[in-house]
A and B are shown apart, each in its own frame.
Chain A
Amino acid sequence: MYPESLKEAIKIVEEARARNIAMEPRRMTAEEKDALLKQYHPDYKREEFRELRVGPNKGESVPKELAEMLEAHSRITADSVDLENPDYDVDVLIIGGGGAGSSAAIEANNAGASVMIVTKLRIGDANTMMAEGGIQAADKPNDSPAIHFLDAYGGGHFAAKRDLLSKLVTEAPDAIEWLSELGVEFDKDAQGNMITTHGGGTSRKRMHAAKDYSGAEIMRTLRDEVLNREIPVVDFTSAIELILDENGNAAGAVLMNMETRELLVARAKVVIIATGGAGRMHYQGFPTSNHYGATADGLVLGYRVGAKLLYPDTIQYHPTGAAYPEQIFGALVTEKVRSVGARLVNAKGEVFMHPLETRDVSAASIIRECGDRGNGVDTGNGKAVWLDTPMIEIIGGEGTIEKRIPAMMRMFGKYGIDIRKEPILVYPTQHYQNGGLDINLDGSTTNVPHLFVAGEAVGGIHGRNRLMGNSLLDIIVFGRSAGRNAAELSKTVTTSKLTLKHIEEFEKELSDAGVETEAVSPKLLPDYTRRK
C-alpha cells in the first residue's frame, strides 16, 4: 500500500498516462549515450575503484570491495589439510550449482566422465533461479546469429572477445532446442511458434521466456535432470581454495562444510569454476538483485592460482530494481515489464527516455533523473522513478500482466500494490558481473591448465555491458561446452602429486607488495547481522 504522499504523486502519472502511451520516445544517439555514461554510470566513479597490487592483473583497477577480497589471505594454510587422502576423487569437479554448473555436469556426464558438483548452498540456489525476463536466440525468420552478434557486440561497447560472442550467438538456437528437449516450457503460441519480445538493445524480437519465471523454469529443470542422472551434489559445502598438482595444473579443491566447518579434499583431473556473480559484494553500497551467495568466490579462487581476470571493473546495474516498499529494496523488476509495454516516467509525469535502451544507458539515465535533474520521486528511502505498469494492460489488454509477468504481480501484491492499477517505483540495483576470468573458446582459462570457467564467473563474452537474455544463454552455451571439453580433457590427464604451495607464494607476493590486511577470502556469504 502506498502512503498518501505517493498516492498524490501517482496522480501525476495517471494524468499523463494516455499521452505517454501515444508518444514515440526517441532513442539516444551514440554520442549522447557516451556522454551520459561517463557522467552518471557507477563504473566511471573512479574513486570507487583501486589498483591491484598483486597477481596477474596487477596495476589494473577493480571495485574496492573486490580488490580487498583478491588481496586477502587464504582461509587455510597448506599444512591444515591432508592432500594424500582425498575425500573425493573425480574426473571433473564443478564448483557451483547454478545454471552453468548444472549444464556442465549434465554434458560431462553425457561424455562419460565421473563428475561431482560442490555448492555452498543448495543446487539451484543461484542467480539463474532469479533470472526473470528471458533468454535470447536468433531463431525467427527475420533474424540471424549475425544480427544477434551485432546487437550484443554494440551493446557491450565493442569490447567482447569476438570468438566467444560468435559461439554464444551461433549456438543459441541449439541451446533453446536442448532445453526444450529437457522439458523446459517456453511461451509458445498454439502452432508452436515462440512468443518473443524485445529486450533493451535488441534489434529483433528474440527474447524467449517462460512467463517471468524464465530462469527458475530452466534451473529447476536442469536440477531435476542432474538428480535423475544421480550426479553427486555435495551441498552446503564451499570450495575455499583450489589445489594444483606439481606441474601447475588445476587438480582439485579444498572444501569446507558451511555448517560444521569441516575441511575436505576433492581431487579432480579437471576443475570447472561456475560460481556466478558478485551482487552480494554491494559495490559502491548498491542494493542487489542477486542471490545470497553471489560473492565473487570463483574470481578469488582463480586469481590466487594465477588465472587472469578480464574486465573486472565493469559491473551491470539493472536499471529497474524495486525502490519501494523497503522490504524488497533492490529486488529485480524484470526488463520484461518494459518489453511488454511499461515506460519509465519521472516525478513530473514525463517519459524521460526510450524504455528499451541498453541496461547501462538506462541505469545512468535514471540516476541522472534522480540526481542533477531533480526529477526523482521521494520514496522515504531515497529517490526513484516510476515504471508505469498499468500501461501494459491498456496496450496489451486486460489480463496481460497476470499472464506475462505473474511473479512481478505477486511480488508487489504481497505489499498491497496492484501493479495492474498502480505504477511502481524503481532505481538501479547491482545485477551482473560483466567481467570475470579470462577464457579460451573451449572454456579453459587462458593461463592455468585444467581449469575451466563457465557462467557469470567468465569475463569477455559480453564485453563491458550485457544485454538482457544473453546471460541465461551464456550459462547454457558455455556451461555445456565446458562440461563436454572438461570431460574430454580428463580422459588424457594424469594428475601428479597435489600441492597447496601457491598459498605460500601468494602470501609472499602480498608481503613483497606491502599489502597489510586482515581480510580472508573467498567471502562465501555476506554478513547482514546487526552490528551492536
Chain B
Amino acid sequence: MENMVNVFLFGKRYQVPDNLTIMTAMEYAGYQLIRGCGCRNGFCGACATIYRIKGDRELHACLACQTKVEDNMYVATLPFFPLVKEIYDIEKIKPAQQVMMQLYPEIYSCIGCNACTKSCPQGLNVMQYIAYAQRGDFEKCANESFDCIMCGICSSRCPAGISHPQVAMLARRLNGKYIQPECAHLKERVKEINDGAFNDLIEALMQKPVEELQELYNNRDIEE
C-alpha cells in the first residue's frame, strides 16, 4: 500500500504517493507538463521550484525532478525567470576586469545577503563566484560556478537584481577560451589533418573488404 501525502500545487491540495518527486507528483495529479519540464534528470534547469512546508517559515528552492514530495508541501514552480543576458562577441572581448563592469555592472551592487547561495539547488557557493567575478578572477569564478545549470533560482532571490548564471556563463567562456592553457597536441593534430597527413591511411581503410576490417578490429592493440 502506497503512503499518501498532501501536496499543495499552486495552493490546491492533491493526495499523492510519498515516493514521487514533485515533478512526477504533478503528473500523478493530472498535469500534462509543457513548461517546467526538461531533462528530468537535474541537468537542464527547466524545473526550478520553490516550496514551503506548512508551519515552517523557511522558503526552500529545488529542482522539481530531483526532489521528493513531503507531507504538507506548498509548491510553486518557476518555469521561467527573466535573467539579463548581455550580448557580446567572444572574439572581441578580453578577460579583463572591466568586462564585467561593462556588461554586468549590477554585480557590484551585491549586498552580501547570501540568499543566492542559500537557494542554489546545486549547492554552489554563488555569492563567492560573484565575488570572484567582481575582482575579475574569471578562472576562480568559472571553477566555482562550473556545476551551474542556469535554473535562475538565485536571481529570483537577489535584491540587487544580479543574473548570476549569465555572469558565470561569461566567466566560463572567457576562462575556456583565453585563460586555460592552449592545447599543443590538438593544434598539431588539426594542422596534420589539414595537411592531409592521414588521408592515405583512412582511404586505405575505406577500400578494404569487411572481412579484412573485422580481422583488423578483432586484433587491434588496446592502450592500457
Contact surface of A with B, Cβ cutoff 8 Å: 27, 29-30, 121-122, 124-125, 129-130, 137-142, 144-147, 149-151, 153-154, 158, 162-163, 166, 169-171, 173-174, 176-177, 180-186, 188, 190-194, 198, 203-205, 211, 213, 215-217, 220-221, 224-225, 227-228, 230, 236, 258-259, 289, 291-292, 326-328, 331-332, 406-407, 410-411, 414, 525, 527-530, 532
Cα-based distance from A124 to B150 in the complex (angstroms)? 11
List the A side residues contacting B184 at CB < 8 Å.
Answer: 191-193
In contact, A183 and B90 (Cβ under 8 angstroms): yes
| In the bound complex, CA of A183 to CA of B205 (Å) | 34
B217 & A291 in contact (Cβ 8 Å cutoff): no
**CB-based contact B205/A121 at 8 Å:** no
A151 — which chain B residues lie within 8 A by C-beta? Answer: 217, 220
Q: Which of B49-57, B126-134, B168-176 contacts A (4 or more CB under 8 A)?
A: B168-176
Residues of chain A lying within 8 A (CB to CB) of residue B21: 327
**Who on chain A is nearest to B63 by CB?**
A414
Find out whether the CB atom of B169 lies under 8 angstroms from the CB atom of A291.
no
A-B contact pairs, 28 of them (CB 8 A): A121-B46, A139-B185, A141-B185, A146-B198, A150-B205, A150-B213, A163-B206, A166-B202, A170-B193, A170-B198, A173-B193, A180-B183, A183-B90, A183-B176, A185-B176, A186-B180, A192-B181, A203-B220, A203-B223, A213-B146, A217-B146, A225-B90, A259-B34, A326-B19, A327-B19, A407-B42, A528-B24, A530-B27
Q: Does B113 contact A (CB under 8 A)?
A: no
Is B28 engaged at the interface, CB distance under 8 Å to the other chain? yes
* B180 / chain A contacts, CB cutoff of 8 Å: 185-186, 188, 192
The residues of A that contact B58 with a CB separation of less than 8 Å are none
Complex Cα distance A201/B115, Å?
A: 46
**Identity of the chain A residue whose Cβ is nearest the Cβ of B184 in the assembled complex:** A192
On whether the beta carbons of B190 and A327 are closer than 8 Å, the reply is no
Interface residues of B (CB under 8 A from A): 19-21, 24, 27-35, 37-44, 46, 66-68, 85, 87-90, 122-123, 142, 146-147, 149-150, 169, 172-177, 180-187, 189-190, 193, 198, 201-202, 205-206, 210, 213-214, 216-218, 220-223
Cβ contact of A190, chosen from B20, B142, B181, B198, cutoff 8 A:
B181
| Further 6 A-B residue pairs, CB within 8 A, beyond A185-B175, A188-B181, A230-B87 | A27-B222, A125-B46, A224-B169, A289-B41, A326-B19, A327-B19
For residue B223, which residue of chain A has the nearest CB?
A204
Determine which of A129, A184, A191, A525 lies in contact with B181 in the assembled complex, contact meaning CB atoms within 8 Å: A191
Contact present for A188 and B183 (CB under 8 Å): yes
Do A125 and B44 touch (CB < 8 A)?
A: yes
> Across the two chains, which residue of chain A brings its CB closest to B91?
A181
A141–B177 Cα gap in the complex (Å)? 23
Q: What residues of chain A lie closer than 8 Å to B150, measured between beta carbons? A: 220
Q: CB < 8 Å: which of B43, B213, B222 contacts A129? A: B43
Question: Contacts A142-B223, A530-B28 given: A258-B217 contact, CB under 8 Å?
Answer: no
Contact check, A144 vs B90: say whether CB atoms are below 8 A apart: no
- Bound together, the chains give a CA A188 to CA B175 distance in angstroms of 12
Q: A145-B202, A188-B181 are in contact. Are A183 and B223 (CB under 8 A)?
A: no
Residue in B29, B66, B193, B214 whose CB lies within 8 Å of A174: B193
The residues of A that contact B33 with a CB separation of less than 8 Å are 292, 525, 528
> Given A150-B205, A236-B35, A529-B32: A228 and B88 within 8 A (CB)?
yes
A130/B87 contact (C-beta < 8 A), A150-B217, A184-B176, A259-B34 known:
no
Q: Roughly how many angstroms separate A217 CA and B146 CA in the complex, as a whole number?
A: 8
Nearest neighbor of B174 in chain A, beta-carbon distance:
A183
User: Is A216 a contact partner of B43 (Cβ separation < 8 A)?
Assistant: yes
Chain A contacts for B190, CB-based, 8 A? 139, 173-174, 177
Which B residues lie within 8 Å of A527 (CB)?
32
Which B residue's beta carbon lies closest to that of A185? B176
Chain B residues with CB under 8 A of A183: 90, 172-177
- Bound: A252/B221 CA distance, A: 49
Residue of B nearest to A215 (CB): B43
**Are B41 and A139 within 8 A (Cβ)?**
no
Asked whether B87 lies within 8 Å of A192 as measured between CB atoms, the reply is no
- A228 contacts which chain B residues (CB < 8 A)? 87-90
Output the least CB separation between A36 and chain B (Å): 15
| Structural contact, A30 and B37, CB atoms closer than 8 A | no
| Chain A hits for B67, CB < 8 A | 414
A-B pairs with the 5 shortest C-beta distances? A183-B173, A154-B217, A192-B181, A183-B176, A185-B176
Which residues from A are CB-within-8-Å of B218? 29-30, 154
Option from B20, B122, B202, B222 in Cβ contact (under 8 Å) with A149: B202
* CB proximity of A241 to chain B, nearest CB, Å: 19
Contact across chains for B39 and A125 when beta carbons are under 8 A apart: yes
- In the complex formed, the residue of B with least CB distance to A154 is B217
Q: Which of A144, A184, A291, A292 has the most C-beta atoms of chain B within 10 angstroms of its own C-beta?
A: A292
Which residues of chain B are within 8 angstroms of A122 by Cβ–Cβ distance?
Answer: 38, 46
User: In the complex, what distance in Å separates the CA atom of A292 from the CA atom of B123?
Assistant: 24
* Complex: A181 Cα to B176 Cα, angstroms: 8
Minimum CB distance partner of A322 in chain B:
B41
Question: B183–A259 contact, CB under 8 A?
Answer: no
A residues in contact with B172, CB < 8 Å:
183, 185, 217, 221
Closest Cβ of chain A to B17, distance in Å, is 10
> Is the CB–CB distance between B217 and A138 below 8 Å?
no
With a cutoff of 8 Å between Cβ atoms, the chain B residues found around residue A154 in the complex are 213-214, 217-218, 220
Are A406 and B193 in touch, CB under 8 angstroms?
Answer: no
Contacts of B149 in A (CB 8 A): 216
The residue on B at minimum CB distance from A174 is: B190
Q: How far, in Å, is B96 (CB) from chain A's closest CB?
A: 15
Contact between A30 and B214 (Cβ–Cβ < 8 Å)? yes
B186 touching A180 by the CB < 8 A rule? yes
Residue of B nearest to A27 (CB): B222
Whether B27 contacts A129 by the Cβ 8 Å rule is no
Instruction: Compute how far the CA of A153 lies from the CA of B187 in the bound complex, rounded to whole angstroms.
Output: 26
A183→B186 CA distance, assembly (Å) = 15
Interchain CB contact under 8 A, A170 and B202: yes
Q: Out of B30, B42, B181, B187, which one reaches A177, CB within 8 Å? A: B187
